[in-house]
Structure 1
Amino acid sequence: MANPAAASLTDDLIVEILSRLPVKSLCRCKCVSPHWRGLISHPDHRHRLPQTLAGFFLNASNRGRQARRFINLSEASRPPLIRYPFSFMPGYDDVTIVDSCNGLLLCRASRTESSSPDAVFCHVVCNPATRSWHVLPNSSSGCVDNNNELRPARLGFDPAVSPNFHVFEFVHSEQGYGCVAGVEIYSSETGAWSYSESEWEEETHLLEGSPSVFFDGLLHFITIDFTVVAVNVKGESWWEKAVPEDSYDLQNWDFYEAWEPCFIGRYKGNLCYINEFYSDTDVSIWVLEDYAADEWILKHRVSIQRLTKNIATPAESKCYNFITVHPHCNWFLYVTGSDKILMAYDMDRDAVHVIQNLGLDCILQCIPYVPFYGN
């Protein structure tokens, strides 16, 4: 028999109660009744309810053609949550997503002007959930370095701490491509760029195609020298730490055969490092719980065979690509196999799940996205 007190609750009151729940509890509430599921899924209530990983922005090639689209993580049969490329940002010839952070996207937009045959680049920070965007003024270089190469750029945003965002644009040194001389940082609070000289080792070489992670006011990056580096939003604090010694084997490592030396992300609120080598037989997840303690802790280990069994052929079994660690489940997501199968591994249950077949030739970029409906 239904509880008469619960039955008397209005929809607004139910949504107000649900808005105070953590994401995992909110997801469980979808199973209470079709009515509750409808309330939680209704577009009018999204801005009031906590959000989780919705999907991925994908840049890829398919049969020789560029494929850009949004991939739903769940309910794959439904239309994409976000239409990509974005129709709400007119006036640009091309918009490429560079980074994502807590619901905001950093994009590199270009247009060709009549006065010059060369494309003009700028950075744009946008929120697809609210269809809003902010065009950044040019940094000192206008997105490119002295060799006319695009500078690596990343986004930092934490709405729980501040409504302001920061964009980090790394300046190459004369030591060679990828080595860092300093960083220009844009603050949405001041509306201006500021430059800080690097305090990392002189030959610190960022792995520019790899993901970065922003939290606790620090942007974390990985290098080709098996270190993790970080810089804060004011460019005043520079941090560098070696990765776990047991996570790589330099004698058997071949840079040209590995997809990426490693992957970094967040695992249960902490910085995590995941090895990612063709030559390895296991995937290990390490966590840095205390920066001051200076110690990586091994949290989980799983064989590559377990991750790719029945999906990839023996020749493909070591061809996998990490996408992200789920922010609210003890899962990590990855792509494997010739058809680029999107997979999830549940670390609590040692279970492998097939999410969907992407059916692509090559994945160039896969950026996770958690909607943010705030202002």
Structure 2
Amino acid sequence: MRRCAPPLESADTVREILLKLPTRDVARCCCVSRLWRNIVADPSFRCLHAMAETNHLSAASEALLVTKTCEHGRPDEASFFSVSSSRPMPYRVKIPSKYNLSNICDGLLCFAVDQADAPAFVCNPVTGQTAMLPKAPPPVGIPGSSCNHHFALGFSPSTREHKLFRFFSSYIGMHNVSQSVYTLDGAGGGWRQRSYRTQCPLLRTSSPMFVQGKLYLVSTGKTHVAHRRNPDGLLEVDVTTEAHRTFPLPFRADQYHWAWDPLVNTFEMRGRLGLAVEILTGDETEIRKLQFWVLSTPPSDEQLDDHDGKLCWDLCYSFYVGDIYYFNQPRSAWFEGREMTLCYRDTHAVFKHGTRGRAPQPSPAADCPQCECRQQLPPTPSNCRWNFYGGYRPSLVSPLTFAPPPSSWDGEEERQQFEHAMVLTMRNIS
């Protein structure tokens, strides 16, 4: 007699195997069978898998091509492509109107709009899940006019908590920064606010960069006519302690015209902060030098004061780029880990420079060659906005775990109070 073969898989066995796979492979496993799909959809599995992934932050990060489609009468939609594979991710995500990508925190994308009273929006491009985050309170000590707002998502490796930061600063006159923080995992305890003085206002065109438990924002030393230009700087905020420090940038501020903001884009290179800097001398906008700086192994927090210039930078590569500089155009920088290539998007072209087997240049004054690879970009459709973003690591973290309960959504409590007051008013009238 023939015996029935024992089942080749059980839920527990498959679960243990899937926990050891990379995020993209786990997402593909949802198409194998109902059993596998149900395991991957289980919130406890996603939590365990995301926790295992955060233990491997030294793994190479990816760059995403994020496109936003805007059609009149329809909600905005964002789609995502991995630059290394050029394959679209399975989900197109509807995002609030006029929102743009603010920063990336490993596998989560934070969208925001430059308004103090607008909540941030988070999505996971692997799972397609989205959530509106708690609305921040009005800032402390800074008037609302002539200000800019930066929202940033951060993760604390030691406490395993996700935090939402809002930085609010004036770019005219006052150089204060209002920092609001909300812990998203579990009982966040509400928003915590503080205000501190900085030498320069935050740069409006530079997005916050999350690297190894810290957020970095660029500040501009641009001043008015006949005023001496302040040094451009870097604001560092520790996600765990929520403490801040400021540092000068590694290049000379007097190389810029007094009216120009620093042309700086931040990126991550093997777990270290990097800067892509365009050097324009005086009024010159045709002969431009592009420099890639990478932060050396930083000293411990105990060795640094609140304002300290001890950060050490390596000038990795420097080369000339052609064409006329276009102001107020999107730019970005990233490191392609699989091909060991530094990349920079400059309006209509992408510059690529390989790092394999190359030593950093000895000084900023060294002779610069032309970039080894320049790729022209295709024309952009009129209904589309896009850019490249580095520092992405796929994850199964669900943004739904960060969403506040329905009663605390923006405007919900105020609406309920109005309805209650209106009913009481109508009863008294009748």
Q: Same fold (TM over 0.5)?
A: yes
1:184 corresponds to: 180
Number of matched pairs:
319
2:136 corresponds to: 139
AA of the residue aligned to 1:220:
Y
3-state SS of paired residue (1:304): strand
After TM superposition, list the pairs within 5 Å mapping 1:192-231 onto structure 2.
Answer: 192-198=190-196, 200-201=197-198, 203-225=199-221, 226-231=232-237
- Aligned equivalents of 2:143, 2:386: Cα separation in 1: 23
After TM superposition, list the pairs within 5 Å mapping 1:50-199 onto structure 2.
Answer: 52-53=61-62, 55-58=64-67, 69-76=79-86, 78=87, 80-81=88-89, 83-84=91-92, 86-87=93-94, 92-93=96-97, 95-108=99-112, 121-141=118-138, 146-147=144-145, 151-157=149-155, 161-172=158-169, 176=172, 179-189=175-185, 190-191=187-188, 192-198=190-196
2:389 corresponds to: 367
Tell me if the contact between 1:341 and 1:359 (Cα under 8 Å) persists in the aligned partners.
Answer: no
AA of the residue aligned to 1:367:
Y
Cα offsets for 1:315-366 (capped at 9, x unmatched): 46999933223356532222246xx234432212569556783423896754
1:301 pairs with 2:317: yes
2:257 corresponds to: 254
> Which has the higher mean CA deviation after the structures are superposed, 364-373 or 205-214?
364-373
- Aligned equivalents of 1:94, 1:140: Cα separation in 2: 21
2:333 corresponds to: 323
Tell me if the contact between 2:334 and 2:342 (Cα under 8 Å) persists in the aligned partners.
Answer: yes
- Aligned equivalents of 1:239, 1:357: Cα separation in 2: 38
After TM superposition, list the pairs within 5 Å mapping 1:24-39 onto structure 2.
Answer: none
Root-mean-square deviation (CA, aligned residues, Å) is: 4.7
Residues 240 and 148 of structure 1: CA distance in aligned 2, closer, same or farther (over 3 Å): closer
- Aligned equivalents of 1:51, 1:298: Cα separation in 2: 20
Tell me if the contact between 2:216 and 2:235 (Cα under 8 Å) persists in the aligned partners.
Answer: yes
- Aligned equivalents of 1:104, 1:300: Cα separation in 2: 29
3-state SS of paired residue (1:204): coil
3-state SS of paired residue (2:204): coil
AA of the residue aligned to 1:97:
L
- Aligned equivalents of 1:342, 1:290: Cα separation in 2: 30
Residues 97 and 325 of structure 1: CA distance in aligned 2, closer, same or farther (over 3 Å): same
Q: State the Cα distance separating 1:73 from its structure 2 match.
A: 0.8
1:5 corresponds to: none
Q: State the Cα distance separating 1:238 from its structure 2 match.
A: 1.8
- Aligned equivalents of 2:339, 2:19: Cα separation in 1: 19
Residues 221 and 359 of structure 1: CA distance in aligned 2, closer, same or farther (over 3 Å): same
AA of the residue aligned to 1:53:
E
3-state SS of paired residue (1:42): helix
Q: State the Cα distance separating 1:72 from its structure 2 match.
A: 3.6
Q: State the Cα distance separating 1:262 from its structure 2 match.
A: 1.9
2:245 corresponds to: 239
Q: State the Cα distance separating 1:57 from its structure 2 match.
A: 1.4
2:294 corresponds to: 286
Residues 356 and 210 of structure 1: CA distance in aligned 2, closer, same or farther (over 3 Å): same
More helix by proportion, 1 or 2? 2
3-state SS of paired residue (2:149): coil
Q: State the Cα distance separating 1:266 from its structure 2 match.
A: 2.5
Q: Percent identity?
A: 14
Residues 269 and 39 of structure 1: CA distance in aligned 2, closer, same or farther (over 3 Å): closer
Residues 176 and 249 of structure 1: CA distance in aligned 2, closer, same or farther (over 3 Å): closer
Residues 254 and 273 of structure 1: CA distance in aligned 2, closer, same or farther (over 3 Å): same
More strand by proportion, 1 or 2? 1
Tell me if the contact between 1:55 and 1:370 (Cα under 8 Å) persists in the aligned partners.
Answer: no
Residues 217 and 211 of structure 1: CA distance in aligned 2, closer, same or farther (over 3 Å): same
When the two structures are superposed, what TM-score results if normalisation uses the length of structure 2?
0.58
- Aligned equivalents of 2:234, 2:113: Cα separation in 1: 29
> Which has the higher mean CA deviation after the structures are superposed, 353-362 or 287-296?
353-362
Q: State the Cα distance separating 1:164 from its structure 2 match.
A: 2.6
Cα offsets for 1:239-265 (capped at 9, x unmatched): 111122xx2351x4226567x432323
1:277 corresponds to: 279
AA of the residue aligned to 1:42:
R
Larger Rg: 2
Residues 40 and 164 of structure 1: CA distance in aligned 2, closer, same or farther (over 3 Å): closer
- Aligned equivalents of 1:208, 1:257: Cα separation in 2: 12
Tell me if the contact between 1:108 and 1:124 (Cα under 8 Å) persists in the aligned partners.
Answer: yes
Residues 75 and 328 of structure 1: CA distance in aligned 2, closer, same or farther (over 3 Å): closer
Residues 323 and 273 of structure 1: CA distance in aligned 2, closer, same or farther (over 3 Å): closer
Tell me if the contact between 1:103 and 1:372 (Cα under 8 Å) persists in the aligned partners.
Answer: yes
2:4 corresponds to: none
Tell me if the contact between 2:66 and 2:79 (Cα under 8 Å) persists in the aligned partners.
Answer: yes
Q: Structure 1 regions of 5+ residues with no counterpart?
A: 1-11, 24-37, 111-117, 306-312
- Aligned equivalents of 2:163, 2:116: Cα separation in 1: 25
Q: State the Cα distance separating 1:193 from its structure 2 match.
A: 0.9
3-state SS of paired residue (1:168): strand
- Aligned equivalents of 2:80, 2:265: Cα separation in 1: 22
- Aligned equivalents of 1:145, 1:53: Cα separation in 2: 39
Q: State the Cα distance separating 1:372 from its structure 2 match.
A: 1.2
